[in-house]
Structure 1
């Protein structure tokens, strides 16, 4: 991983995502792109000429502020090279354009932890990023989370779909970089795995051969969200990982709070890997 993109609006969540990035990639040489986005809406009270002047001034102000921050960050001499991107666009389009242009390997987004998973735990903007990006992993960092050395990564799966080396590339890279264990947890309701699931499990075991891994079946505890939440608290893991399959656990995670009114406030960062 060489190129990291952080949607950056100077909020507490964005600042925390930046600080987390510094910690998790400490000792590595990477490019960090800070992306600030604004939507310029035409005012019908102003002439076209004044609208253009207003948009231009807004762009200049944001560019100056972000460039100033990047200049300060580049003086830290920590192996990171910072770049600024300012775009008058929707956030999802701006992120997708930056990923393509700068060959981004990972998006790191800050978010607020709260009661409603779909609306506030991840934030509607983060949800939009996850749902619109199908080639690049997204690492979500709760605002309240302060970096802890990573010694255990929890990878949640049900073995119902197979895996590819490309899908797991970021997970494996992080585990090798931090020299940590990946614990594969199975949340399947069924007592026994089907033949296909057993085959997929063996494929996953082989793909994780470069890192220290273990496999565990979790006892069902009322719901998927509550089961994984309980395990996070008990295992003291520092990173939770999913593959964003269509109709997967992750998608259910976004709706279960509404259906069962269960609070799921993750205390650790969440890495969402795209299905490739």
Structure 2
């Protein structure tokens, strides 16, 4: 059974992403590990007030109480989605978010991370690194990020961007497995720029290798890579976009408001960030 880490701060963004996490767990036949992290105030020893440790304990206890009070609300959300059978485990950790996520991935042997972002401007913040951002490049498992505007709909079409490199085949096969479990098709996009060194022979070899799969290969000639990808999402009815994390700054540029404002539905598309090996 796959294990999916779901970091949450119990906000609207996180609760919306929780529904996607439940549905994703259903697709991959997985269980969710709910992770809540918190940081306690740091006080230098020389200036530690007499009541600091009492305050420390009370703040820690308050976090645990808050966590416990939110769990029934999440279970209620699961029941409304008729997904109360998805196994939920709980983990609360004190410390930095990224450190805690990396530690939880190792301790729990996590296969995927699912987490929420805050929409069009949130995409930029996410991939640049503020708040939840650095998770994408800090961990070595796929990260499915969900914008708050993304109301869950059944995944029928998964987009996958490639450069037809040999190392792209493993992530594509992983996406195909996910697509099969949800009866979805995969549309594989290659943006062929004027500097492209990919030959027709390589493209045909890929088509032959994956001919028995529900994969459609789309080759677009353009030097405007980011704009072409956004156009692909918008006009090919992509329900989830899978991308390999070549460079983090590529993601931040891709989702800058100056680009996303041209495509009103871009902020409603979940993105599965996968890692090259």
What TM-score does the superposition give when structure 1 sets the normalisation length?
A: 0.82
The alignment partner of 1:228 has SS state of helix
Question: Does the 8 Å CA contact 1:109/1:140 hold for their aligned counterparts?
Answer: yes
CA separation of 1:228 and 1:65: change in aligned 2, threshold 3 A: same
Question: Does the 8 Å CA contact 2:28/2:178 hold for their aligned counterparts?
Answer: no
The alignment partner of 1:225 has SS state of helix
| 2:132 equivalent to 1:104 | no
| 2:89 equivalent to 1:87 | no
Which piece of structure 1 moves more, 16-25 or 266-275? Answer: 16-25
| In 1, Cα distance between equivalents of 2:10 and 2:183 | 32
Question: Does the 8 Å CA contact 1:37/1:88 hold for their aligned counterparts?
Answer: yes
- State the number of aligned residues: 267
Cα displacement (A) at 1:217:
1.1
Cα offsets for 1:224-266 (capped at 9, x unmatched): 2221111211111100011112x4xx642313667x9433643
Question: Does the 8 Å CA contact 2:39/2:94 hold for their aligned counterparts?
Answer: yes
The alignment partner of 1:147 has SS state of coil
Gaps of 5+ in 2: none
Question: Does the 8 Å CA contact 2:37/2:97 hold for their aligned counterparts?
Answer: yes
The alignment partner of 1:271 has SS state of strand
Cα offsets for 1:137-190 (capped at 9, x unmatched): 00010100001111110101122453353x345423311210111110101213
- 2:192 is aligned to 188
CA separation of 1:100 and 1:204: change in aligned 2, threshold 3 A: farther
| In 1, Cα distance between equivalents of 2:51 and 2:204 | 62
| In 1, Cα distance between equivalents of 2:28 and 2:243 | 25
Residue pairs, 1:47-58, within 5 angstroms: 47=48, 50-58=51-59
Gaps of 5+ in 1: none
CA separation of 1:205 and 1:11: change in aligned 2, threshold 3 A: farther
- 1:202 is aligned to 205
Cα displacement (A) at 1:71:
4.7
Which piece of structure 1 moves more, 73-82 or 61-70? Answer: 73-82
Question: Does the 8 Å CA contact 1:66/1:84 hold for their aligned counterparts?
Answer: no
Question: Does the 8 Å CA contact 1:112/1:123 hold for their aligned counterparts?
Answer: no
CA separation of 1:267 and 1:209: change in aligned 2, threshold 3 A: same
